[in-house]
Amino acid sequence: MTEIQITDHIAIREDELDFSFVQSSGPGGQHVNKAATAVQLRFDVAHSTSLPDDVRERLKSLAGSRLTQDGVLIIESQRSRSQERNRQDAVNRLIKLLQRAAKKPKRRVKTKPSRAAREQRLQNKRQRSEKKRLRRTPRHREE
């Protein structure tokens, strides 16, 4: 059983991937009507034993509409006229998606604006206020 290496710590078994081949709608002339060159790769994210839970959750949010309600990720490829190249393209796209999901997002460090930044903001507000005040029509005083 071969494994597809995603990161140093994550590898998925090739038997977890399910490929189906359908007729492509892309270029190919008469050939496109006879050969099933388009590839649909299916990967069961919800039941995969190869993925850590945190990666699985990030993958679910990254996958978007490519993820079915059952938790199956579907990647389609019909870029090439060759079934093997489309198969490899689908696997490469899965690897890239899994690598993105494997990266832990950096925690945001809360910071406060500096005193100079606060004073600069208030100075800018005063200048804008003054500019707009000067645009107004002058009020006549009754004496």
Radius of gyration of the chain (CA): 28
Chain-centre distance of CA 142, in angstroms?
A: 66
Distance separating alpha carbons of residues 37 and 67, to the nearest angstrom: 22
CATH 2.60.40.10 corresponds to the domain 3-102: no
pTM (global) more than 0.75: no
Task: Tell me which amino acid residue 110 is.
Answer: K
**Burial class, 118, CB count within 10 angstroms (exposed 0-12 / middle 13-18 / buried 19+):** exposed
Angle at 92 between CA 91 and CA 93, to 5 degrees: 90
**Short-list 79, 68, 78, 20, CA closest to 45:** 68
Residue by residue, pLDDT tens for the chain (143 residues) are 688 888 888 888 888 888 888 887 766 667 667 778 888 889 988 888 888 888 888 888 888 888 888 889 999 888 888 888 998 999 999 999 989 988 888 999 999 999 999 999 999 999 999 999 999 988 876 66
**Burial class, 38, CB count within 10 angstroms (exposed 0-12 / middle 13-18 / buried 19+):** buried
